[in-house]
Chains A and B, each alone.
Chain A
Amino acid sequence: MPESGSTPSDTPGGALGESPGTDAARTVLGEADIARALTRIAHEIVERNKGAADLLLLGIPTRGVQLARRLAERLAQIEPAFSGDHGTLDVTMYRDDLRRQPTRAVGQTVLPGSLDGTIDDKVVVLVDDVLFSGRTIRAALDALNDLGRPRVVQLAALVDRGHRELPIRADYVGKNLPTSRSERVKVRLADVDGGVDAVVISGAPINHERGDR
């Protein structure tokens, strides 16, 4: 596993040094962009649900947890009635690729104490950093199913990079990011990775002459 904190990033703040033909990592969202995107998503959540009653934010480890916490803080500012409920939903044991990958350490599922262990009739918003194939979200839906029966499940992702393998769509997206399959999108959050918040693309660049592989 590459150490995400060691990725060089000399273009913070969303200033894009786009230079086709190089393998260098480039920052597509800076700290301010991420903060703005989260604030917008928080407003969209309130708007779509006509308030924040019965709202529960569940972050998918690792970075989804921090994003859920940040969204909960914003929601509490916008909507004083918001209970502040947010938690963690580990999906490891529900994945469909367990046999094809190295053994994964199982993470924690933590529901806010006020819920008494059930998510029944809640409006659950799943929060993840990057939406890609959709398989993580499928696993998350299965995991939710075992916890209870929410009234509605919605999905918020900071980045949607496309290449879906399942019919899954996000309700709230921070940024739609067209990518090539060979590229890697990394979300770095100060509270997990240190440094400053950033969304970084690395790997083979989009080369329109050769076409995407």
Chain B
Amino acid sequence: MKHLLTTQGLSKDDAILLLDTSAQMAATQSRENKKLPTLRGRTVVNLFYEDSTRTRISFETAAKRLSADVINFSAKGSSVSKGESLKDTALTLHAMGADAVVVRHSASGAAHQLAHAGWLDAGVLNAGDGMHQHPTQALLDAFTIRRHLVGRVGDDGRGVDTSVGADLAGLRIAIVGDVLHSRVARSNVYLLHTLGAEVTLVAPPTLVPVGVETWPCRVSYHLDETLEQWQPDAVMMLRVQRERMSGGSGSFFPSPMEYSRKFGFDARRLAVLPDHAIVMHPGPMNRGLEISAAAADHPRSVIVEQVANGVAVRMAALYLLLSGDDSTNTQQTSTSTDERTAL
């Protein structure tokens, strides 16, 4: 794997390999010494054209836990504000010998451009490009779902993860809210479908993108109906992106109160779900708008765990991108010592 740009086109084998590697990375994170020497001497650049404390810290933590050197680059206060182009920034990073670039950009396709324009030969990891994709978020969601609904982990977190190797076949996931602006929803629909889960998008008609009928999922405009009749195993709430609602929050729905009443997740709606169902949110939450405080803090909410899993998933992505010579496929570990040490 050279780049991780999108979950669309990620094969099932690669997706499961990423999740399995994440499980092993997560196992090392409950130790006293959380650091591994794996990427010692490699340089990871966090190239953030858009503010995101949470994602940047998560990537930074992941890279540091693998002993890589981390350079944080934010557009604010850099030459970008003086007018430098993405290409020139890329050439600078190339000259400095970056091994991997984690890029977040407000333009859809920026990560793809960076990976394929020939400006640098580093691995490119998409940390969110416009309204397009956010693959590590989808992977950490899938990882969280798999841990809770497929396998069981020892209570202390140290036990064997019995979900390793499994896909998400037969699980039902509802993704609720502002699908139109959500790269999280796009990434999740494709990844969850690849892993065998069924997905239903639930949103007001104004927040459903054109062309959604080509996505491998169903669309519903009624949250209560979906919860009662379809009985999803996991409900993934999306953030109402106030900054993308031009003209305040009134352009896509009549009022926040109405949105909250029709599409907000609360304890009453939680009670409709099956007992094993989990509640997810990519954060940051607008408490009281798309999710009520009672639902967000409920024992079946896994929102805080999603953040912890984010570090493990990003460690796995960095490991798979940066270890190994280019050109190659993954080699399974079931080789004899003889073969392992042959080189």
Contact = CB atoms under 8 A, between A and B. Distances in A.
A170 to B, nearest CB: 12
A96 B38 CA distance: 8
B335 A62 contact: yes
Interface stretch (B166-174, B197-205, B300-308, B324-332): B324-332
Contact of A104 (B156, B158, B323, B336): B323
Given A93-B37, A98-B323, A101-B325, A106 B341 contact: no
A57 B159 CA distance: 18
Given A62-B335, A105-B21, A186-B336, A93 B330 contact: no
Contacts of A128: 337
A21 B319 CA distance: 44
Interface in B135-164: 154, 156, 158-160, 164
B338 interface: yes
A94 B340 CA distance: 13
A106 B27 CA distance: 11
A104 B24 contact: no
Main secondary structure on chain B at its contact with chain A?
loop
Interface in A1-57: 1, 4
Interface residues of B, number: 44
A185 B336 contact: yes
A146 B336 contact: no
A62 B24 contact: no
Interface stretch (B28-36, B176-184, B252-260, B284-292): B28-36
Contacts of B329: 102-103
Contacts of B338: 129-130, 132, 161, 184-187
Contacts of B328: 101-103
A103 B331 contact: yes
Interface string A44-80: 0000000000000000111110000000000000000
B333 interface: yes
Interface string B1-38: 10000000000000001001100110110110101111
A97 interface: yes
A110 interface: yes
A98 B330 contact: no
Given A61-B333, A92-B333, A94-B38, A99 B324 contact: yes
B25 to A, nearest CB: 7
Nearest to B39: A98
Contact of A184 (B164, B320, B339): B339
A102 B328 CA distance: 5
B323 A94 contact: no
A103 B1 contact: yes
What's the interface size class on A, roughly? Answer: 35 or more
A178 interface: no
A94 B319 CA distance: 12
Interface in A83-125: 90, 92-94, 97-111, 113, 117
Nearest to A192: B334
Contacts of B17: 105
A147 B31 contact: yes
Interface in A161-184: 161, 184
Nearest to B1: A103
A93 B156 CA distance: 23
Contacts of A90: 24, 333
A187 B339 CA distance: 11
A142 B37 contact: yes
Contact of A108 (B1, B164, B330, B343): B164
Contacts of A134: 341
Given A101-B343, A104-B324, A130 B337 contact: yes
Nearest to B164: A108
Contacts of A63: 336-337
Given A104-B324, A108-B27, A161-B338, A62 B38 contact: no
Contacts of A98: 38, 323-324
A143 to B, nearest CB: 9
B330 A103 contact: yes
A101 B30 CA distance: 28
18 contacts: A63-B337, A64-B337, A93-B38, A102-B330, A103-B323, A104-B331, A105-B17, A105-B332, A106-B20, A106-B333, A107-B333, A108-B164, A113-B154, A146-B31, A146-B33, A146-B35, A146-B36, A186-B338
Interface of B: 1, 17, 20-21, 24-25, 27-28, 30-31, 33, 35-38, 66, 154, 156, 158-160, 164, 316, 319-320, 323-325, 328-343
Given A1-B335, A101-B328, A103-B323, 11 more contacts: A1-B334, A94-B37, A101-B324, A104-B333, A107-B333, A117-B30, A129-B338, A130-B336, A130-B337, A136-B340, A146-B36
Closest 7 CB pairs of A and B: A103-B324, A102-B328, A98-B323, A106-B24, A130-B337, A93-B38, A102-B331
